[in-house]
Chains A and B, each alone.
Chain A
Amino acid sequence: MKLQTHAWPSTYDGEAQPRKGFFTDTSVCIGCKACEVACKEWNRVPESPQGFTGHSYDNTIDLGANTWRHVAFVEQRKEVDLESAGGELVQYASLEQLMGQSGLDTYQDGDGVRWLMASDVCKHCTDAACLEVCPTGALFRTEFGTVVVQEDVCNGCGYCVPACPFGVLDQREGDGRVWKCTLCYDRLKDDKEPACAHACPTNSIKFGDLDDLREEAEERLRALSDAGAEKAQLYLHDSGDGVGGAGAFFLLLDEPEVYGLPPDPVDTTRELGSTWAAVGVAAVGLGAAVAASVLGGRR
């Protein structure tokens, strides 16, 4: 049994807008962090001094209350044996062809190191566990199909924090409420693209109508795959996945977990029917145990 909140587009009637989203094409991300900065500035997100990690160029670490965009840096050393060197030549040739087409360099493979970069963000899931478990209704679905926290309603119960399968939401210290990416709800209302997409110099973060983005992503995946990027994959692109597809989806060059993303995320609300059934059985069992305890002595 699937219990779910259906808010978009049905409850908006004529005010419903086409669903908006991000397609983050990590193959052209250069790790400049312009998205992180633009997001902070536009949304007035407080500083997040998280120290020096030594993890490549990543001192942002993860998404949280004060980090709504997070650029991951993964350094992978390529194997240098004869067999893989041969494969690399083929890959190199096809990548050169791709670079010629796009005018963009995707890897630094001169010294045998592959540098993966990816800008992570709230996924704005179709089936959003955070929104479902929110007891106050602070988390809601906008007319653009995005998921936003109403800061004047949130009472900081923290339920959405462990409910999110991507670890996006967190409580802000000293404030008590939870905060996350709004997909620049204010800018969308003003017909402007979100700050991060606007600032991205390589168009790695593409913003638009979700339907268009999904088509564009298909083409891009095909091009990369033809060019020999064998692990290239679309992540959260399909509406059949565990979160019903995401408003913010990705093109990755390696497995999701390499970037710190879960390989098979599921909206926990999918199991809600059976979970409530377990509560019902437990409640009846408790009632029966009490009855048996009281009646057991009357012999």
Chain B
Amino acid sequence: MSAAGGTAGREAQPASTRDSYYGQPVIKQPVWHPEIPWYFFAGGLAGASATLALACERSHPELARRAWWTALAGVSVSPPLLISDLGRPSRFLNMLRMFKITSPMSVGSWVLAGSGTSTGVVCLHLLTGRGPRAARLAKPVAALLGLPLATYTGALIAQTAVPAWHEARRELPALFAAGAAVSAGAAATALAPAQDAEPARRLALIGAIAELGLVAAMEHRLDELGEVYHEGSAGAYGRLARGLTAGGAIILAGPGRRRRAAAVAGSAALLAGAVCERWSVFKAGFQSASDPKYTVASQRRRVRGGRGHGASRRAVGAAQ
């Protein structure tokens, strides 16, 4: 990006100049704005809430009811968040011009459209009692689409040239799934009466444990490329996320069982932790793209280790 100014939100350039062109980044930082990590959170919350709502409908109708409304809230804020991030918001409908399996954003747009519509039908029935047959049909659709809605965002960012995202492609969807479980579980726990909240509480705890484990697994896989998850704002959000998730889980597992105030506090901490984890991943991508050492060093290592794809070729017989 340009030395003078540049797109707001992009990381400042590092000073490293070895093995690079005056320390210039090799790849471009994303142009996405703060709407995107908030969407990752909202989409995950909505998706997992819809699934939870259908699953507990018979056993815990009060919980299900609240989870449906949470799902509606999540899918309702998502399109405005995404549209306002577009360079040309008036052309948002172009997202549905085609369906492309090679573009996670295209797939995600359709999933969100389907998820939003079906959740809307369910909630319309909850509110007015209208369209019982349509609602019966829409419930499993919303619950099933909720699963890809909560996870495709991992593929979305992994499908880029950003090392800290692309090399974490196996873990990111699962990490986002765990965050979605935490969000949906915590939101429903906070909203439902204590005697109905048990499944939601369990979901939040399962998600919290999975999230903490997956972050560790992802960083182990990324090795040196994972540095960015410990530095700058990605590191700060990451530490905050781990603290809030672990703290919230402990509260929810202990005093949150019986005391409503504790349940609400624990849930709030877990929700905040899920938000921070998305922000950490989002920021890490910017930091990873802004320093050429991550792009060049990992590729150079591949070439030296004989695992390169052969972008460069010298004359036959020339000294290598």
Contact B151 A282 (CB under 8 A): yes
Chain A residue at minimum C-beta to C-beta distance from B106:
A135
Find residues 98-122 in chain B having any chain A CB closer than 8 Å to their own CB: 98, 100-106, 109
Residue-by-residue, is A84-102 near B (CB-CB < 8 Å gives 1, otherwise 0)?
0000000000000000000
Complex alpha-carbon distance, A281 and B151, angstroms: 9
Complex alpha-carbon distance, A5 and B109, angstroms: 19
Contact A155 B87 (CB under 8 A): yes
Find residues 278-294 in chain B having any chain A CB closer than 8 Å to their own CB: 285, 289, 292
Supposing A51-B3, A163-B161, A262-B299 touch, asked if A236 and B26 sit within 8 A by C-beta, the answer is no
Find residues 299-320 in chain B having any chain A CB closer than 8 Å to their own CB: 299-300, 302-303, 308-315, 317-319
Contact B160 A225 (CB under 8 A): no
Contact B302 A162 (CB under 8 A): no
Q: Could you name 21 residue pairs across A and B whose Cβ atoms are closer than 8 Å? A: A64-B2, A129-B160, A133-B159, A135-B95, A155-B95, A162-B30, A162-B161, A162-B289, A176-B88, A225-B315, A225-B317, A232-B314, A233-B313, A240-B310, A242-B310, A262-B299, A264-B300, A279-B152, A279-B154, A285-B174, A293-B203
Contact B299 A265 (CB under 8 A): yes
Which residues from chain B contact A55 at a C-beta distance below 8 Å?
Answer: 22
The smallest beta-carbon distance between A120 and chain B, in angstroms, is 10
Q: Tell me which of B32, B91, B148, B314 contacts A233 (CB under 8 A).
A: B314
Supposing A159-B103, A234-B313 touch, asked if A263 and B86 sit within 8 A by C-beta, the answer is no
Interface size on A, residues (CB 8 A): 102
Supposing A133-B159, A153-B97, A233-B313 touch, asked if A171 and B151 sit within 8 A by C-beta, the answer is no
The smallest beta-carbon distance between B318 and chain A, in angstroms, is 5
Contact B162 A238 (CB under 8 A): no
| B273 at interface, CB cutoff 8 A | no
Contact B59 A263 (CB under 8 A): no
Contact A286 B181 (CB under 8 A): yes
Contact A268 B300 (CB under 8 A): no
| B244 at interface, CB cutoff 8 A | no
| A79 at interface, CB cutoff 8 A | no
Residue-by-residue, is B69-104 near A (CB-CB < 8 Å gives 1, otherwise 0)?
000000000000000011111011011011011111
Binds A, one of B194-202, B253-261, B264-272: B194-202
Q: Which of A51, A164, A170 has the most CB of B within 10 A?
A: A170
| B274 at interface, CB cutoff 8 A | no
Complex alpha-carbon distance, A72 and B22, angstroms: 10
Complex alpha-carbon distance, A272 and B159, angstroms: 7
Supposing A268-B159, A286-B48 touch, asked if A278 and B170 sit within 8 A by C-beta, the answer is yes
| B169 at interface, CB cutoff 8 A | yes
Contact A263 B207 (CB under 8 A): no
Supposing A51-B2, A289-B207 touch, asked if A155 and B314 sit within 8 A by C-beta, the answer is no
